[in-house]
Amino acid sequence: MNRILIVDDEPLIRSSLSKVIEDLSDIHLVSGTVSNGEEAMDWLGQYYADMCITDVRMPKMDGLELIRRINLQYPWVTCIVVSSYDDFGYVQQSLKLGAADYVLKPVSREALHEAILRTHGKSSESRFDYASRLMLKRLPHHMDMLERWVRQIRTAQYETLPLLVVDTLEMLESWIGGQYHYLSMLAMEWLGLVKEELSKEKLEIELEEGIDSGLGDVTIPHEKLRSYYRLCAVRRLEEGAGRLCETRAAAGDQPTRKAVEAVKRYIDRHYAEKITLQELADEAMVSRNYIAILFKKATGHTIWNYLVSIRMSKARELLLQTHKKVYEIAGDVGYDNSVHFSQLFKEHFGLAPAEYKKRMES
């Protein structure tokens, strides 16, 4: 998700810019709006942003000084300047200071969209480039972890993948020195390495980064940033591991793949309810007896194991993002017995709920 801070001394412009960004796509969020550079620096001292869209002429601290200070204190934040044609000299100075793009007032929806997409693209490319170089530097010292991934996928050791993901996350985090915004890129680079190793078996594997909506608030305080990016990276690693396992298990049978996807979609929507095998068979349009065999053959694990994995994934989100008690989380994901839920959680993640929360947040 791309979190954006808007800085402009005119309330109507701030509101207009916010509306345009909200209409842009699911990955761009307005995290905050302030009226001048001083307020922007105060806001950035408390909250995280990927991008700052700022006017140049403002009271107390203008856009140029704001860009200078952001460069010094928050170098990962990219800036877009919004300015009138009469202030084009300011725009030129802002570009010299490292602003990524500019938009002239009156701001058109198309011009702002294009500037945000260009800036986001440049920022993502830069982060992936850094992650790639870091991976090349660190990988020779961690070949054992890569071998663990390849071995577990090749031998269908699905039950230990969640703990492997946590171990991998801690390895990746040890490389970045608190620059948590690189974790997602490193997770994708890592999956790319595993995919490359498996591609030697002539498998066609597609990996998508996906969207992190729902994993964190629109406005993220700095003290919650680590938990947010760790959760994003875990999502990438788990989904990537699942995709790699499934692709290897179900080599290209299209009817089978459609039936399996239908079952997954149904479980993803109804995981907190009591689900019967007949309901799943009806959804996939195959017989009740055949759907269980089909799913197992295609994915390497049973339908009920998949249901448990979805419930555990949802439970982990609630565990890490809310203050709910374990018994409340158990009920939210479909379990009446909290003791049974805790046992399943430990079997799935290798740690009891309280231990997992402590390890992810420590």
Bridge partner list, 34:
7
Interatomic CA distance for residues 144 and 11, integer angstroms: 55
Per-residue pLDDT band at 204 (split at 50, 70, 90): low
Listed residue (346, 362, 314) closest to 170, CA to CA? 362
pLDDT at 215 over 80: no
pLDDT per residue as tens digits for the range 152-198? 887 667 777 888 898 999 999 999 988 999 999 999 999 988 888 87
> In which element (H, E) is residue 83 found?
strand 78-83
Sheet holding 51-55, edge to edge: 28-34, 2-7, 51-55, 78-83, 101-104
Select from 228, 183, 227 the least CA-distant residue to 209. Answer: 183
Residue 306 has pLDDT above 60, yes or no: yes
pLDDT tens digit string along 66-83? Answer: 999 999 999 999 999 988
What predicted TM-score, i.e. pTM, was given to this entire model? 0.70
* 243 neighbors 195 (Cβ within 8 angstroms): no
**Radius of gyration, alpha carbons of the chain:** 23
Segment 10-27 shows an average pLDDT of: 84
